A and B are shown apart, each in its own frame.
Chain A
Amino acid sequence: MNIANPLPQACTTVSVVETLAHTHLYDCYQCGKCTAGCPMAAQMDITPNRLIRLLQLGREGEALDAQSIWQCVSCQTCATRCPKSVNCAGIMDALRQLSLEEGRVSPAQQRVMLFQKAFLDNIRRNGRLDEIELIVQFKLAGFMHDRRFSLLFQDAMLAPELNKRKKLHLRGKKVRDRAVLRRIFARSMDHS
C-alpha cells in the first residue's frame, strides 16, 4: 500500500481507513483486547473494538462523530496487543484525519483537535516548535471556540515556575530555511 498515492475517488470509508492505516478492518474478530488494554477506555463513548465494529458494519458516521477518537492518547497498546495484527492505533489516526477533513469533529473534543492544528501550524511557520507561540495560539483558538475563560488561565501560575528553572524560552532557535516547510506542508496536504 502506498500512502503517497492519491485516494481512489469513489471509495468507501472502510477502504480509505484501511489505506491510511495499512491494515485490514475485517481481520478483527472482536476479542476486545484493544479495549481491555486501552488507558482511556473507561472514559470513552465508543471503545476501540466497537469503533472497528461500526466500520465493519458500514456505520462509519458514528465512528467519525465519536468523542473517543480524540480521547485516544496514541499509546499504541491496542495495536501492539492485537492477536490479528489489526493496526487499531492507525485506525484512530485515520478516523481523526477523516473526521477533521469532513468537518465532523465531536463538539466536546474540539479542544484536542484545535491543539493538534495549532501545533502543526506552528511547525509549518517555524520548522521547530515555538512553545510560547503554541500556548498563546492554542488558548486563543480555544477561547474563540467556547468563550470559556478557564483555558486562558489554566497553567497561568506555571510561567514564573518555569522561569525560575530557566525553562521558559522566549525565542527558540529557528530553522534558517522556513520556506521549505510551507512547500512540504502544501504538497502533503494535496490529495491530487
Chain B
Amino acid sequence: MKIGYYPGCALHGSSDDYEESLRACLKTLDVQLQEIDEWICCGATAAHSLNQKLSIALPARNLALAERGGFGEMLAPCPMCSMQLIKAQKALAGNEGLRREMSRIVELEVRGTTRVLNLIQVFEQIGLDRLKAALKSPLKSLSAACYYGCLLTRPPDVVEFDDCEQPRSMEAILTALGAKTVDWSYRTECCGGGMTMASEETVLDLSHKILSNAAAHGANCLVVACPMCHVNLDMKQPDIEHRYGVRHGMVIYYLSDVVGMALGLPESALGINRHFVGKA
C-alpha cells in the first residue's frame, strides 16, 4: 500500500517522535508513505481565528499539491491538519465559485479529489485481521485510556469519523492487539490544543483533568493520535504535576507506538525513549 503523506509542521518540529513512530510502524505493515512535495502549513487555529479565507486557502494549496502528485489518499496524522484539509475540501466541493477563486489564490487548480485520512483510518484500512496476524507481542500489560481529544471526531459533519461522543475506533485496535482499555469520561474533552504557549494555565488545567480522570478509571497509560495532545499531556506533565502538587506519572503513547510495540518493534525504534514521561 502506497499513500500520500502530509506530515504537517508539528511532525517536522518538536513532535518528530510521532513521525518516527508512525514511519517505523507503517513500514512494518508494508505501507509506503510518500511525502507531498512542497507542502505548506494548514494554517491551524491561527488561520481560522484570524482570517477565514486564509483558513481555506492554505489547505486548498496542499490539496492541489496532493492531486498534482497523483495521490488518491493522503495520511495527515495531525487531526488539526486533517480537519482543516477536509473542511476546505468540503467547502470547495459545495461551491464552484469558491473552488475557482481558491485555485486562483493558491496558483494551482484544486479539485479536492484526494481523500484525507487520519492515522486511525490507515490502521482500519490495513485491517484488524492483518494487525492480529502480524501480532508478535500482545499488549497484555496495558490498561489504556484511549484519548481522542477534539478534532479526530469534531466537527462531525466535517470529519465524518467515528462517533463524536462515544468513539470506539482506537479501543477496537488496542483490544485486537491484546490490550485492556478503560472506560472513562474525558475521551473527547479538550487538552487545550494550541494554547500551550499563549495561555499555559489553560493547558495545564484542562490536561490535569484529563490525566486525573484517566488514572481514576484505572488507566496505566494514555493513547493519543495527535501531536498537540501529546505535547500537552506528556511534555507539560511535569509542569502539571508541579502546579497541582500531584504525581501523575502517566505514560502517553502515540497510537503508532502501541501498534508498533505489538508488532515487536523496540521502543527506541518508535521514539518512545524521547518522550518526557517514562515508564514508572
Q: A interface vs B, CB < 8 Å?
A: 2-5, 20, 39-40, 43, 71, 73-77, 79-80, 89, 93-94, 96-97, 100, 111-112, 114-117, 119-120, 123, 127-129, 131, 135, 138, 154-155, 158, 161-162, 165-169, 172-173, 175-177, 180-181, 183-185, 187-189
Contacts and interface: CB of A to CB of B under 8 A. Distances in A.
Given A39-B206, A77-B150, A177-B38, A115 B198 contact: yes
B30 interface: no
Contact of A189 (B39, B49, B51, B202): B51
A183 to B, nearest CB: 7
Contacts of A188: 51, 53-54, 57, 105
Given A39-B206, A77-B154, A172-B12, A4 B48 contact: no
B134 interface: no
Contacts of A40: 202
B124 interface: no
B150 A119 contact: no
A152 to B, nearest CB: 12
B184 interface: no
Contacts of A162: 14
Given A2-B95, A79-B155, A167-B17, A116 B9 contact: no
Contact of B189 (A39, A96, A173): A39
Contacts of A112: 195, 198-199
B200 A184 contact: no
B190 A73 contact: yes
Most buried by A among B17, B38, B200: B38
A100 B52 CA distance: 13
A92 to B, nearest CB: 8
A67 to B, nearest CB: 11
A63 to B, nearest CB: 15
Interface of B: 9-10, 12-17, 38-41, 43-58, 61, 91, 95, 97-98, 101-102, 104-107, 150-151, 154-156, 164, 188-190, 192-195, 197-200, 202, 206, 235, 274-276
Contact of A4 (B41, B47, B53): B53
Contacts of B106: 180, 184
Nearest to B164: A80
A13 to B, nearest CB: 15
Contacts of B190: 39, 73, 75, 77
A75 B150 contact: yes
Nearest to B158: A76
Contacts of B104: 187
B154 to A, nearest CB: 4
A100 B197 contact: no
A180 B200 contact: no
A155 B231 CA distance: 13
Given A167-B17, A184-B106, A120 B47 contact: yes
Q: Which of B101, B154, B189 has most chain A Cβ within 10 Å?
A: B154
A117 B156 CA distance: 28
B193 A75 contact: yes
Contacts of A120: 43, 46-47, 50-51, 54
A167 B14 contact: yes
Q: Which 10 A-B pairs have the closest CB atoms?
A: A115-B198, A129-B9, A75-B190, A4-B101, A119-B46, A76-B154, A188-B54, A116-B46, A165-B274, A75-B150
Contact of B200 (A79, A154, A173): A154
Given A97-B52, A120-B43, A129-B41, A111 B198 contact: yes
A24 to B, nearest CB: 15
A184 B13 contact: no
B41 A123 contact: yes
Nearest to A162: B14
Contact of B52 (A39, A94, A116): A94
B17 A165 contact: yes
A71 B199 contact: yes
Contacts of A93: 48-49, 52, 55
Which of B45, B61, B194 is the most central at the interface, judged by chain A CB atoms within 10 Å of its CB? B45
Given A111-B199, A161-B276, A173 B46 contact: no
A44 to B, nearest CB: 11
Contacts of B39: 128, 175
Nearest to B14: A167
A89 B50 contact: no
